[in-house]
Structure 1
Amino acid sequence: MIQNPTPGKALQYAGEFCFPRLSGTRFEEEAQGTILKIFDSLGLEPKIEQFQADYLLIKLCSRIALLPFGILILLGGIFYYFESPLSALVFFILALFIGLGFALYCQSSPEFLGLKNRFWSKNFYIQIGKEKPEKEILIIAHYDSKSQSFPIWLRILVYYLGGLFSVLASGLGIFLVYKYLTASFFLPLWGWIFIFLALIDFLPIFNRLDNKSPGAVDNAGALGVIFELAEIFKEQFLSRTRLWLVLTGAEELGLLGSRNFVKNHKAELGPNQSWVINLDGLGVDYSISALSRLGFPGKKTDPELNNLIKSIAQEKNLKFKMIRASLGFSTDAYSFLKAGYKAVSLGNINRFIHSSEDSIEHLISVNLDDYVQLLKELIYKIDQAASEKNDKRY
């Protein structure tokens, strides 16, 4: 019989990590030491994988992603205002292709500039269950944190609306120049509008990445859930499945930890035999929350796994809700979705993310306990289903 969660235990574990722990700093190393200490207290020895990361590179990418858009649209607007249509046309076309391409590149490939790697980060994981299972269950949470100067609503407004407006401005600029050349149709006011829209793309430069967030909701609460699951399952027999509890580093620097984990284990973990549950942003309200879509371009999280989680929540009388994240919002689950895995992301988006206000006072203990209860039941059901499927073969 699998033991029940201990009320408040997940919050107790989470409290060990409620301090700023930006990747590439000594505070990340302190968090890594805490991970090893807790696993040791549970009698578990995690496997450790190192990978290279560049704090400066990711910090740079997030701030200059829209800069080419801004410069090129600004020049296009100036030349349009002074009635130099061919020059304006060149800059609007460059904005549409170079500006958009650079923004997408920064979003998807933070190593692309090829700068020298500055530090080593680490992933930690333990495996519980059969050596050659029929199903692999991965429960994942990142342990790093970060803060940003802009509040979350302003980040969404600047990055995503700014990017959208830039694409529209580039296309409209090309159209207006075409009308100017073919029909002598000229609206000088649009020159100023282009200049104004271009200035929005310069705002991310002022969104500084720093180490001021205690990272309670993002993501100490999830770490607490992971460690309680380790305590519950460390001596339990899983008949047909293997449970992976994975703690990733440098998630806040472009999902680097999960991307390296996928690269290292793709051959071992078949996408058709593996279910991935990412935990990010737990403990902020009284519901079980799941994200329906992640990343840019958006990828849907696995509907079958989401429905199974929803049914378990209903069985346990837990409130469940699906959340549609803003375009481009990513968690570690996105790395697995891109690689073809069945993956979901549990947790809520909240105003404390990446801010100095993300302290332990905002963690709701009973909600963390609910996630432990739900995941315990989910693991048990997947293992039971795999066993029943195997029995039918014989």
Structure 2
Amino acid sequence: MTESYGLRTINGQAAHELARELSFPRFPGSEGEARARRLLRERMEGLGYGMEEQPFRYDARRTEILRLTSPLLPFAVLSGLAFLSARAPLLSASAPLLSKWAPLLCWIAATALLILALSLLRWPWLETLFEGDRDSSANLIGRRPPDSFREKPGHRPAVYFVAHVDSKSQPLGIVARGLFFSALTLTSLAGWVLLGLRGFAPGAVGGGALAFMSFLLLIFGVPLSVNVNGNRSPGALDDAAGCSVLVELARILRARDDLPYEPVFAFTGAEEAGMVGASRLAERIARETDPSRCFFVNFDGPGAGRGLLALIHGFVRAENRSPILRSTRGSAVARAAREAASACGVPLHVVRLVPGAGVDGVPL
């Protein structure tokens, strides 16, 4: 099947066949992941691209432990503080001042823990958890040879087209994970509010309400805490489809000498281990090139549903109003994506990244 979008001719059948060929278990660091890289390298070199394999080492044990234990932390914190708050009246004889302020102190402790957790959920800090050499993977980078450019490479901005090679299996699908994560987050905030009411207005909230919130946190946290990774998924959609789209895009752009940018094709490794390959790629770009002249288009799960789905995450500063934060939905990148899709007649839907999910676009 061949479809024409504007000036670009896409061989959808070729992309589909390659995606099927890549659809076998490819857990980070496994022989399946290495086999997929070899296949992609062969295809890209057949198109005339120069390929560079960039190996890296990491240790995913700390992040895996954190991923499986953190869903139970809200339950442990709320139930523990609720227990201490309920025992405060017993101190009325020996420590009346502590008995009076114990509920408020519990809420302050919960607030401090919440602020600490939010401050640690930043990607530069999370990257340090992967330090080590227990596991290994590699990024595969493809560039056109210098004779494809009218001027020397590096004189124009680089656009990195990114897709991850590896795959993983989990008992919970991405939608279920998002629902449980959202429920856990909202229930945690509700418990924090109830603790605050108990501290500022003694008697307004009984122990039963906090016990019920703790029970809900346990119900929502346990499925996430047993959602272990495995190597059973063929990863056709996530992300053999993205890799096949990149190869087809590379075929189209190989003969284009009029591009205002330098196309670079990055097949990243260990995305399912915590976007490690994308992080290593970002570090390398920061060391060796000018990051301000590098742009990234991440393909993760193309072919799901109808049309294109643009995932966004985080916030950006609004134009001319630097203190004000607004969603990337209104950013220049999102607008450019809509305009390009509209010009090509391709349906585009811009949505937020599912809570609890991660893609290579986060570290990049």
Please tell me the TM-score bracket, short chain as reference.
0.7 to 0.9
Does structure 2 retain, via aligned residues, the 8 Å contact 1:138–1:243? yes
Amino acid in the other structure paired with 1:34 = L
- Alignment equivalent of 2:363, drawn from 315, 320, 335: 335
**Deviation, structure 1 residue 253:** 1.9
Write out the 4+ residue segments of structure 1 that deviate beyond 6 Å after TM superposition.
Answer: 295-299
Amino acid in the other structure paired with 2:346 = L
Alignment root-mean-square deviation, CA: 3.1
Q: Where does residue 54 of structure 1 map in the other structure?
A: 59
1:208 and 2:228 correspond: yes
- Structure 1 unaligned segments of length 5 or more: list them: 337-394
CA separation of 1:320 and 1:239: change in aligned 2, threshold 3 A: closer
1:8 and 2:36 correspond: no
Amino acid in the other structure paired with 2:113 = I
Amino acid in the other structure paired with 1:39 = M
Greater CA deviation, 84-93 or 239-248? 84-93
**Deviation, structure 1 residue 299:** 6.5
Distance in structure 2 (CA, Å) of the matches to 1:211 and 1:30:
14
Q: Secondary structure at the match of 1:220?
A: helix
Q: Where does residue 162 of structure 1 map in the other structure?
A: 184
**Deviation, structure 1 residue 146:** 1.4
Q: Where does residue 93 of structure 2 map in the other structure?
A: none
Q: Secondary structure at the match of 2:53?
A: strand
Q: Where does residue 97 of structure 1 map in the other structure?
A: 112
CA separation of 1:298 and 1:22: change in aligned 2, threshold 3 A: farther
**Deviation, structure 1 residue 279:** 0.8
Greater CA deviation, 297-306 or 171-180? 297-306
CA separation of 1:170 and 1:310: change in aligned 2, threshold 3 A: closer
1:196 and 2:215 correspond: yes
Amino acid in the other structure paired with 1:105 = L
- Alignment equivalent of 1:142, drawn from 138, 142, 164: 164
Does structure 2 retain, via aligned residues, the 8 Å contact 1:96–1:167? no
Q: Deviations over 1:159-186 (max 9, x none)?
A: 2331232233134214303433xxx556
Distance in structure 2 (CA, Å) of the matches to 1:115 and 1:292:
27
Amino acid in the other structure paired with 1:250 = A
- Structure 2 unaligned segments of length 5 or more: list them: 1-6, 90-98, 317-324
1:318 and 2:346 correspond: yes
Distance in structure 1 (CA, Å) of the matches to 2:159 and 2:228:
37
Greater CA deviation, 64-73 or 78-87? 78-87
- Alignment equivalent of 2:142, drawn from 126, 138, 160: 126
Q: Deviations over 1:92-148 (max 9, x none)?
A: 544433355347636734454577431121111112344132222111111111122
Q: Where does residue 335 of structure 2 map in the other structure?
A: 307
Amino acid in the other structure paired with 1:125 = I
- Alignment equivalent of 1:281, drawn from 282, 301, 307: 301
Q: Secondary structure at the match of 1:321?
A: strand
Q: Where does residue 20 of structure 1 map in the other structure?
A: 25
Distance in structure 1 (CA, Å) of the matches to 2:79 and 2:131:
28
Aligned length: 332
Within a 5 Å distance, the mapping from 1:233-312 to structure 2 comes to 233-238=253-258, 240-294=260-314, 300=328, 303-312=331-340
Distance in structure 2 (CA, Å) of the matches to 1:39 and 1:304:
32
